Amino acid sequence: MPSLLFDGVYRGISTAEHESRFSVHDLRFYLDGRMVGVHTYHTYPTDVARWLAYESKSPLLSHGVYQVKGDRISLSLTSSYGTVEYEGTVGPDGDTLALVSHSLINRHRGSYSYTFRPVRFRK
């Protein structure tokens, strides 16, 4: 049964037509069911690791929770703009995610693929 990896970030890259440049979405999961996410542009995972933490007060971060049942994952991330919900699958080795999103902010729906990138986080 697949399980998530916790010593890095899951990175999704969007090349959606409505975006003027590549958008990177990083997700960091914690063992206790909490998580954080951030949209950035052309940033290395090691750069994000300096401040991608649940305790961070950065206005760029979305905070949320997740649940995994078998190979299925559901999560909800809330930012200052509102909430986006995701559902999908965890890859067999835990190093990939395939997610479908539904924004409660503007009703946008999208599909995203994430790949795990190991990162050393600051303690």
Q: What pLDDT, in 10s, does the model give residues 26-49?
A: 999 999 999 999 987 756 666 777
CB atoms under 10 Å from CB of 57, counted, come to 7
Domain residue spans in the chain? 8-118
Q: For the chain, what is the radius of gyration of the CA atoms?
A: 13
- From the list 8, 9, 10, 6, the residue with the least C-alpha distance to 88 is 10
Long-range pairs for 18-24 at CB < 8 Å and ≥24 separation?
none
Most confident residue range from 10-14, 18-22, 28-32, 44-48? 28-32
Average pLDDT over residues 63-73: 97
pTM: 0.87
Number of H helices, E strands in the chain: 1, 8
Query: Which numeric CATH code is attached to 8-118?
Result: 2.40.160
